[in-house]
């Protein structure tokens, strides 16, 4: 009996073991390939295939995920893909292609599979400025789409001789001006207004938000250098000022009328209502969220009639202030600035900033979100990481608190980071 067992063991070792690597290779070849664009999975009606170590995918689904226009000519089996700066010309079974009318030879030609045209994923993606990475263990292709220019907002607020917003922006002492840093800061959030609980706009407040005597000159120079501007209304819930206001319809109507009269000087309104929801019970918190959302709904309707944009500057979702319904507000506002700072550490911890962004993204589209950066809490190096995070998450932009506090080294770092196509956090 033992001799028989030994015989079979030898048989298995001699004949079957050499076949194992081939079996493993076959199993790996059959493993389905997944594709993501900016972290979102791409769905294909014909599954991607690997041929000659190249991944091929149905062109139309990939093009839609990358926001690229495509045309298919069935008579000559040609694919034309275009965006604002690139034209790609491919043909089934042909390794010769055109990139902006320049001939290029492909490693792998497009193919037809089950009635679908498949194109080489890496070539197609990289031709449109994307970054492509391959995970052989997961059989996963990750694509980062070409980064679009992101918006840079500078808060313009009252400072002093050493922290002048004017000098920092226009690089000259008031009233002189040059183009200065207006190539980087294209949008001004003018922190000149506050509010009382009766809905009256204040140009001088106890919190230090004041409209300077030279405010007309600021607007004149902003227009001269092509900058857009918003009126910022800042108020805190100290002494329940905001809570009382948003529960008072008469006060709300009063503010709406005053805003429309003042906002005609600007391209929009930026509400910075801080401190809502601090230490409230569940019932109180629910009422605060409802009242604030109802107020924002009314304000949005009034601003739309005047063709004015609405921006909300809000505490981050992972802050102690929970009185903001991000999902509802994200549907109403044109833009939301996340104040992802004041976590108690300098620089602000990237993990908590990233968490704030992820929580916001679960409720608000990325093209409405702007990352707020508090400059007194940051260094040039940490600013680079914050901007890189905003870019990699495809946020609409960044907002800097505030002009007057940006050093030349910070400006230099921001320019380099914002102009880089692909960035990685240290």
Instruction: Note the pLDDT of residue 8.
Output: 57
The model's confidence at residue 162, banded by pLDDT at 50, 70 and 90, is very high
Question: pLDDT tens-digit profile of 35-73?
Answer: 998 778 999 999 999 999 999 999 999 999 888 999 999
Instruction: Note the pLDDT of residue 28.
Output: 39
The model's confidence at residue 31, banded by pLDDT at 50, 70 and 90, is low
Question: pLDDT tens-digit profile of 238-265?
Answer: 899 999 999 999 999 999 999 988 999 9
Averaged pLDDT for residues 18-28 = 41
- For 208: left if phi > 0, alpha if psi spans -120 to 50, otherwise beta; the answer is left
Classified as helix, coil or strand, 70 is strand
Percent of the chain with pLDDT over 90: 80
**Residue 352, Cβ density class (10 Å: 0-12 exposed, 13-18 middle, ≥19 buried):** middle
- Choices 3.20.20.80, 1.10.1660.10, 3.40.50.1380, 3.40.50.970: CATH for 151-419: 3.20.20.80
- Given a cut of 50, is residue 23 above it in pLDDT? no
Instruction: Note the pLDDT of residue 288.
Output: 98
The model's confidence at residue 17, banded by pLDDT at 50, 70 and 90, is very low
Q: Please compute, for residue 292, the number of CA atoms within 13 A of its CA located in the half-sphere on the CB side.
A: 29
* Summary mean pLDDT of the chain: 91
**How is residue 2 written in tokens?**
């033992």
Per domain, the residue ranges of the chain are: 27-144, 151-419
**Strand 228-236 versus strand 201-202 pairing type:** unpaired
The model's confidence at residue 29, banded by pLDDT at 50, 70 and 90, is very low
CATH 3.30.457.10, domain 27-144, yes or no: yes
Which stretches of 163-246 are assigned E, i.e. beta strand? 187-195, 201-202, 228-236
**Residue 322, Cβ density class (10 Å: 0-12 exposed, 13-18 middle, ≥19 buried):** middle
Residue 395 CA to residue 415 CA, distance in Å, equals 17
- Given a cut of 80, is residue 426 above it in pLDDT? no
Instruction: Note the pLDDT of residue 5.
Output: 58
Give the residue, 41 or 332, on which the prediction is more confident: 332
- 83 in Cβ contact with 76 (< 8 Å): no
Residue 20 CA to residue 391 CA, distance in Å, equals 46
- Given a cut of 60, is residue 19 above it in pLDDT? no
Classified as helix, coil or strand, 423 is coil
Averaged pLDDT for residues 344-349 = 96
Percent of the chain with pLDDT over 70: 91
Provide the whole-model pTM: 0.76
C-alpha to C-alpha distances, 92 to 9, 102, 113, 134, nearest whole angstrom:
51, 18, 11, 24
- Given a cut of 70, is residue 218 above it in pLDDT? yes
Question: pLDDT tens-digit profile of 124-156?
Answer: 999 998 989 999 999 999 998 877 789 999 999
- Given a cut of 60, is residue 311 above it in pLDDT? yes
Which run of H or of E encompasses 305? helix 282-305
Instruction: Note the pLDDT of residue 147.
Output: 72
Instruction: Note the pLDDT of residue 1.
Output: 45
- Given a cut of 90, is residue 410 above it in pLDDT? yes
């Amino acid at each position: 009996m033992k001799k028989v067992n030994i015989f079979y063991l030898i048989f298995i070792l001699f004949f079957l073991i050499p076949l194992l690597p081939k079996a493993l290779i076959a199993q790996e070849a059959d493993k389905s390939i997944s594709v993501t664009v900016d972290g979102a999975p791409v769905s294909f009606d014909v599954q991607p295939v690997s041929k000659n170590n190249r991944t091929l995918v149905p062109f139309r689904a990939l093009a839609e995920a990358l926001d690229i226009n495509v045309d298919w000519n069935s008579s000559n089996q040609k694919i034309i893909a275009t965006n604002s700066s690139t034209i790609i010309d491919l043909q089934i079974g042909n390794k010769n292609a055109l990139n902006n009318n320049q001939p290029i030879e492909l490693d792998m030609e497009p193919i037809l599979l089950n009635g679908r045209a498949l194109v080489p994923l890496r070539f197609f993606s990289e031709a449109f400025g994307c970054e492509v990475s391959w995970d052989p263990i997961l059989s996963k292709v990750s694509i980062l789409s070409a980064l679009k220019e992101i918006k840079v907002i500078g808060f313009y607020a009252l400072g002093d001789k050493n922290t002048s917003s004017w000098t920092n922006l226009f690089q000259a002492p008031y009233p002189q001006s040059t183009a200065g840093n207006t190539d980087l800061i294209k949008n001004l959030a003018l922190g000149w207004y506050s509010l009382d609980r009766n809905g009256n706009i204040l140009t001088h407040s106890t919190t230090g938000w004041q409209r300077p005597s030279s405010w007309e000159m600021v607007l004149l120079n902003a227009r001269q250098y092509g900058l857009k501007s918003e009126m910022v209304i800042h108020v805190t819930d100290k002494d329940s000022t905001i809570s009382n206001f948003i529960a008072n319809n008469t006060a709300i109507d009063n503010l709406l009328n005053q805003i429309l009269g003042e906002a005609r000087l600007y391209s929009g309104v930026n509400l910075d209502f801080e401190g809502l929801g601090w230490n409230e019970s569940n019932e109180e918190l629910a009422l605060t969220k409802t009242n604030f959302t109802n107020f924002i709904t009314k304000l949005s309707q009034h601003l739309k009639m005047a063709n004015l944009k609405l921006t909300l500057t809000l505490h981050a979702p992972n802050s102690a202030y929970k009185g903001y319904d991000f999902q509802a507000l994200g549907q109403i506002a044109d833009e939301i600035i996340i104040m992802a700072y004041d976590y108690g550490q300098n620089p602000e911890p990237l993990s908590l900033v990233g968490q704030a962004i992820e929580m916001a993204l679960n409720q608000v589209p990325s093209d409405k979100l702007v990352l707020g950066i508090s400059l007194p809490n940051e260094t040039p190096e940490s600013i680079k990481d914050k901007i890189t995070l905003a870019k990699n998450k495809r946020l609409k932009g960044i907002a800097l608190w505030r002009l007057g506090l940006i050093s030349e080294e910070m400006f230099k770092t921001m320019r380099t980071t914002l102009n880089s196509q692909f960035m990685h956090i240290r």
